[in-house]
Chains A and B, each alone.
Chain A
Amino acid sequence: MPLEVMDRRASDNEYLHRDFHGALSSALIYLEEHFGAEGLRDYLRRFALSYYAPLREDIRERGLIAIADRLRAIYDLEGADYSLQMGADELLVEVRACPAVAHMRASGYAVAPQWRETVRTVHEAICEGSPWGFELLEYCEETGANRQRFFRRSDAQ
């Protein structure tokens, strides 16, 4: 067999490597095993505060619209079955099947027992320091389906 070569430019493909969900899940399992659920949440909060800093700034300026724009972008990209319901002071989110959990289950990756924290802790951290709060109303461990609520905090100006 002669030398085989594959040569690709970045523009040849779309950037969407769903196996990264499995890698993140493995990382969360490791964190819980070595640092407990508290360590896992501490890491996710620190990551969210750091990585989503531009989004957090945007939320302070545009409020719930900034949150809705971000959710639409990632859920559309990942092919999620979801709906958003926007009110004046509240954004309700329903994810009928989480695409990350669906991919992990289909590919045989272990889903971290604390996977829900990628929604709850991350969204709480994104809202930190803003007039907005977050609560995870429901979460299905099997499919990752969930209902979320972003709301204006009662102590906000």
Chain B
Amino acid sequence: MISCTEFIPAYSELFRYLEERGGREEVMRFWEDLSDRFLGNLRALVEEHGLRGCWLYWSHTLNEEAADFRMELDEEAGEFRIIMRHCPSKGLLMSLDHMEPYHDYCGHCDVLYRRVLEPLGYECVADLSECDEARCSITVRRSANK
């Protein structure tokens, strides 16, 4: 059995495996497939609650992942934001002495969530410029034409 606490290294190694089998395109295909197949709960929450659906979704996941974060919801301004001070997933990968994280491990977050949120009328912007230090942010806004 692979414990849920061992999933992140399994995930990182999967990206590496897929890239070896089919190049970067194969990794992207998998991320899109996973978004469609696995993030139905985020999609349903945002369809029902709008931006608050993001708050509800990440309130559950980030607390269970023991993340170090600040989350903001401003429904009047139409903006939701996560400031990740220390990502537990990237932090875990960086703490392993015997394994290297997949070179674009953090890229999956941007692809998976944008693929859910953009068709629902939201703009999703990820700042991964500090992800090598396990820090990032995601901002979700109502699209101007919604």
List residues of chain A with CB under 8 Å of any chain B CB. Answer: 1, 3-24, 26-27, 29-31, 34-35, 39, 42-43, 46-47, 50-51, 53-54, 74-75, 77-78, 95, 98, 100, 109-110, 118-119, 122
Contact = CB atoms under 8 A, between A and B. Distances in A.
Contacts of B13: 43, 46-47, 50-51
Given A19-B61, A43-B14, A10 B3 contact: no
Interface string B70-110: 11111110000000001010000000001100000000000
Contacts of A30: 30, 33-34, 37
Q: Chain B binding site: helix, strand, loop or mixed by DSSP? A: helix
24 contacts: A3-B73, A3-B74, A4-B74, A5-B71, A6-B69, A6-B70, A8-B67, A8-B68, A9-B68, A10-B67, A12-B66, A18-B64, A23-B11, A24-B2, A26-B34, A27-B14, A29-B37, A43-B13, A47-B9, A47-B17, A50-B99, A100-B1, A109-B38, A122-B2
A5 B88 contact: no
Q: Chain A binding site: helix, strand, loop or mixed by DSSP? A: helix
B34 A13 contact: no
Interface of B: 1-11, 13-14, 17, 21, 26, 29-30, 33-34, 37-38, 55, 59, 61-76, 86, 88, 98-99
Contacts of B1: 74-75, 78, 95, 98, 100, 118-119, 122
